[in-house]
Amino acid sequence: MTWPPDDAAAYRREQGLSEPGLDRLITASYRLLGLITFFTITGGKEARAWTLRSGSTAYEAAGLIHSDIQRSFIRAEVAPVSTILSAGGLTQARVAGHLRLEGREYVLQDGDVVHYRFNV
């Protein structure tokens, strides 16, 4: 049985908690295991979250998605998810100049949104 969202939020406020316990458990587990999350966006409105070891490069992350992307890696367009959301989407962030072009050795940060450029 789950609480209605308003009741759950009120209970958390009473207890001095900023987020649900499960969210805190997941965050702590990722930190202990040395994992980060990065996102990819395909043409439309579909986004995908990927789990990766902290300190991994854009090139290594490309291999996690698909070996063809890694093999024919050219560059990665990267921006934090908060920047993409505040811009209103990937296209708007690109137009506003918020995306950075990064090479193979770029170390992905937790919450990066990555659009891979590769040659098929």
Q: What is the pLDDT of residues 72-109, one digit of tens each?
A: 999 999 999 999 999 988 889 999 999 999 999 999 99
How many independent structural domains does the chain possess? Answer: 1
Query: Which residue is associated with the tokens 């209970």?
Result: 11
Within a domain: 79: yes
| pLDDT band at residue 62 under the 50/70/90 scheme | very high
pLDDT of 2 reads: 82
Within a domain: 27: no
Q: What is the mean pLDDT of the chain?
A: 93
Could you tell me the pTM of the whole model? 0.83
Within a domain: 48: yes
Say whether pLDDT at 70 is over 80: yes
Within a domain: 13: no
Within a domain: 47: yes
> What are 31-49's pLDDT values in tens digits?
999 999 999 987 667 889 9
Cα 101 to Cα 1: distance, rounded to the nearest angstrom = 47
Within a domain: 57: yes
The CATH number assigned to the domain holding 113 equals: 3.10.20.30
Work out the percent of the chain whose per-residue pLDDT is above 70. 98
pLDDT of 44 reads: 67
Domain of residue 101, residue span? 35-118
Within a domain: 82: yes
Within a domain: 62: yes
pLDDT of 43 reads: 67
